[in-house]
Amino acid sequence: MARPRRIAILGGTGFVGRHLVARLVADGHDVVVLSRNPSVHPDRLFPPRVDVVRCDVHDRAALARRLAGMDVAINLTGILNEGGGPLVRDSGKGFARAHVELARTLTTACREAGVARLLQMSALNAGRGRSHYLASRGEAEAVVRASGLAWTIFQPSVIFGRGDGLFTRFARLLRLSPVLPLARPYAKFAPVYVGDVVEAFRRALRDPRTVGQTYELYGPEVLTLAGIVRLTARALGLRRAVLPLPDALGRIQAEIGEWLPGKPISRDNFRSLGTDAVGGVDGLHRLGIVPTPIGAVLHDVLGRPDDRPARLDRYRRRQ
């Protein structure tokens, strides 16, 4: 187990952040979550002993003050869509601010505050493809690598777990309609379990050999987007049809999605789907982590009890 550290986390109120914070506190670390609006994050999101502190992380001087006395900074900040109205989105400026500019601000603040260790969340295929999302992730990685800090970068495929934006999101859509039109249905993913991502961060904290390393994090199964939707429907016990859209209609769906609440799909999402989120060098294996199969946790992810024991009992009674 790593010695207790004082850890500041940016993006700690998100999906991965909530899982990571809970585990780090259980490990005995002192965790501070830096947030621009701590009042909107109820205490129930975090276990006791977690400090949620107000800080504009884009303000270098303010960030450096909050980082003073910390041993480690962890940057989980990321966006999948730009803010603003549909007519001003897709400029790339929102991604540049959230990923690249923040990386510059954070690395400078770390040096000023004397925080040498930085764990940076990125994305599989960062710097590849045509999307603003992947391009900005790659630029942020370049900033971190040139920072002079003791950095470790993680590049996950799509992350799943309780409260995720993958299976949980599709479950909501599938409950609403018997047919789900799907842009780029054959895009490939190797979903990685959030618990495995958390474990990767934990091991990096205690292993100095991870300094200066980049780890691709992906699961043991490769699924198409349509396959993920169908798997979700089966786990929910729903009979649903997936309607694969050709790219011309998929682009139209993305244009419409820019105007819908919650942005189920955007133009940049559509471009990102053009690059398969499948890894090449297994970072979990390099860290000594056995990846979690989707089927082992999917019922828990969807909030449904696994009915396999009940099915087995019914089978035995028929014999």
pLDDT recorded at residue 82: 87
pLDDT band, very low/low/confident/very high, at 309 (cuts 50, 70, 90):
very low
Please report whether residue 13 resides in a domain: yes
Number of folded domains that form the chain: 1
CA dist 56 → 64, 77, 175, 185, 304 (Å): 11, 13, 38, 39, 39
Instruction: Assess if residue 312 is contained within a domain.
Output: no
pTM: 0.91
| Residue 134: per-residue pLDDT | 98
Proportion of the chain above pLDDT 90, given as a percent: 82
Confidence (pLDDT) at 314: 38
Contact 230, 182 (CB under 8 A): no
Q: Is 181 part of any domain?
A: no
pLDDT-based confidence at residue 159 (cuts at 50, 70, 90)? very high
Residue 36 pLDDT:
85
Domain CATH for 46: 3.40.50.720
> Residue 166's pLDDT is what?
95
Supply the range of the domain harboring residue 72. 6-159+191-218+279-291
In a domain, 73, yes or no: yes
Give the mean model confidence (pLDDT) for residues 77-85.
85
